[in-house]
A and B are shown apart, each in its own frame.
Chain A
Amino acid sequence: MTRAIKVAHLFPELLNLYADQGNLAVLCQRGARRDVSVEVVPVRLGDPLQLGDFDLLLLGGGSDREQAVVARELFRYADDIKAGIELELPVLAVCGGYQLLGQYYELPDGTRIPGLGAVDVVTKAGPANQRLIGNVAITWDHGSARDHNTVVGFENHGGRTFHDYNALGKVIRGHGNNGVDGKEGIVYKGVIGTYIHGPLLPKNPHVADFLLQRALRYRGHPDHLDDLDDGLEWLAHGTVLRMLSIKTGDQGVTI
């Protein structure tokens, strides 16, 4: 029997700064190849968000202007989203979306732009013209793919993010949440928040499968996923590791 899950792509018209639809293409195709139907529903500004319909939320990043619009819109659902997350609702939040899940974004003058407060994460604007930009590689120990213990991509953010949860991974090369504490992203229940784009999922198929399994479980389906031929995926993944002079062995990266 086909297992079906439903993904809400939140405000694609505003939050698609870093090619986030690439993440959706990956979820859909990797689902389809395992007989899991992944339906993506774009939720646009002004559309009602029926949170109960969905098994995964995708929250991308936008420009400052666009993100302010989204924050205002999402406030109405802040309590629902928070409750959903506590019940293991999977969320993938990238860049601006990651910041938006938190308590606030503090501007240089101390003004705090409130976020959804769904997780206890705060972000502060970094010094002007000191964005954290570049290829990034972090550790990965959440899924089952033991021989692939890294996540790679590109980061480009001005904000410095701080929290006490588990990180998505430890920074091997790059900056991560804030360039200081060595953490990148967040994993809390079903939530993955990260600054890594590129987009995140094509070069990190283990993260894509992790999210798919989370969503399947959330919907009450069995979460088994057959292995796929991911030769191209790991080739692209390895390209970034090599660019960052990270040596890999049979057991993945020795960290």
Chain B
Amino acid sequence: MRTVCHACGLEQHVRPLGPSERARCARCSRPLLTHASGDASRAAAVALAALILLIPANVLPILELEYLGRVSASTVWGGCVALWNERMWLVATIVFLASIAIPFAKLAAIFYLSIYAGTRRMVAFRARLLVALEVVGRWSMLDVFLLAVLVAVIKLDSLSSARPGPGLFFFAAVVVLTMVSSALFDSRALWRELIDVKSPNVRRATEATT
């Protein structure tokens, strides 16, 4: 099959790959293609690790504010509740969705899709889930939230002091792992299965091109 290197733009030919083979660009040696069934276990493992770390990231305080000698520790969930109680319902909902609900849903979806990659179960549902993941996943804004917290840590005046809480480190780890797992996640296998199930003749056609 013909492909173009994302890095250097060289058009080249790749012979059909086996399940444990990887193609590198003939010119710049960047990874070009992997077998379409992919190595879903990488994305699944990273997503699972991020899912696990989401628990301490949300339970432990991410920020310990000290103002005039009194310390208040705040969690993400506590922040949402505080916003809600301050009658800022819209902001509270956005923070909840962007910092808790959608990151969790996104990681869960990546994990689920990666685990089932290469099987033929519930392909149609998984395809819909993948589309939803791409639409909704943009609202997963853990990193923005993290940035906001860090700005607060740095910017506060001398009367009050803010310390990163233990939850912040887990939060940062979740941010990194989420990025890694979405980068590792390979949707090609799913589309291939979808074609297999829905329209076998298309499959034959695509196979013929490779």
A and B pair up? no
